[in-house]
Chains A and B, each alone.
Chain A
Amino acid sequence: MSKPPTASAPPRALHRPLSPHLQIWRYHITMFTSILHRITGVATIAGLLLGAGWLVALGATASGICPEAYTVYLTFAASPFGLLVWVGVTLAGFLHLTGGLRHLIWDMGLGFDLKTSNLMAWSGLLTAVLATIAVWFYLFATGKVVL
């Protein structure tokens, strides 16, 4: 709509746009990255909890309140399942980071055209995946993490 109709001259029938109708909408990469930003934001909470758990365990062990706390933490954090969570959190965190950067660029009023939006969506996905692979490749290659 180029120009909103004025109240003095109301249109015969104003057809307002309906909500995005997912069944008839042609799939587009930006609709995927849009909901992905929300999903990865929630998923990253797991990373915050892992970090908080680490500090609580460290404090509890160091102070002697619960000397075995750090070992208990490691039985989860260093377990195969814990490792899976760490990898997932790394990917979710990097996706949320690149998604956030995309939103910050939009907030500056830039990159709204289709071409730039597509480019930012794809480059954000690619950067996040590559960063995750780089981090975990380094951790496994240097033997800091072993299965």
Chain B
Amino acid sequence: MSDSYLTERSAKDWKKSVKHGAGEWLAERGTSVALIPLVLWAVFSGIGLANQGYEASLAFVRVPLNAALIALLFLISGWHMFMGLKVIIDDYIGKPGTRGLLNLVNLLFCLAVVVAVLGGLYFVFKA
């Protein structure tokens, strides 16, 4: 048997998807670019709030612009985290059943983080 995969396996046998791929690629890059200013803002805000106490934190989050940026930061980073973890799971877990289960756990985990943050924001404003 020859080693030539070009004669034994033609391009039509290669695994590829015509349905998705470009969307994920763009979403990974889009979330990355959006996170650059958001994370830098979060670092500066965190430095400003460090050791300033409960009231200062509450006042900061109650500013509508800050709350909106926090929501945006966690929505986008939650999405970014899901895609990043999914790539790792897809790379290292070969068994389809285990992979599917882990990706479901991944999705639920990322959703839980986003829901927790939005819930926290809701209660800060409701109070």
Contacts and interface: CB of A to CB of B under 8 A. Distances in A.
Interface of A: 4-5, 7, 10-11, 13-16, 38, 41-42, 45, 48-49, 51-52, 54-65, 70, 78, 90, 93, 97, 100-101, 103-104, 107, 135, 138-139, 143-146
Contacts of B57: 54, 58, 70
Nearest to B11: A7
A135 B43 contact: yes
A90 B58 CA distance: 23
A51 B123 CA distance: 16
Given A42-B88, A55-B70, A144 B50 contact: yes
Contacts of B107: none
The 9 lowest CB-CB distance pairs between A and B, nearest first, are A59-B123, A55-B120, A59-B120, A62-B127, A63-B123, A144-B50, A63-B127, A56-B120, A144-B51
B108 interface: no
B126 interface: yes
A13 B120 contact: no
Nearest to B118: A55
B104 interface: no
A56 B5 contact: no
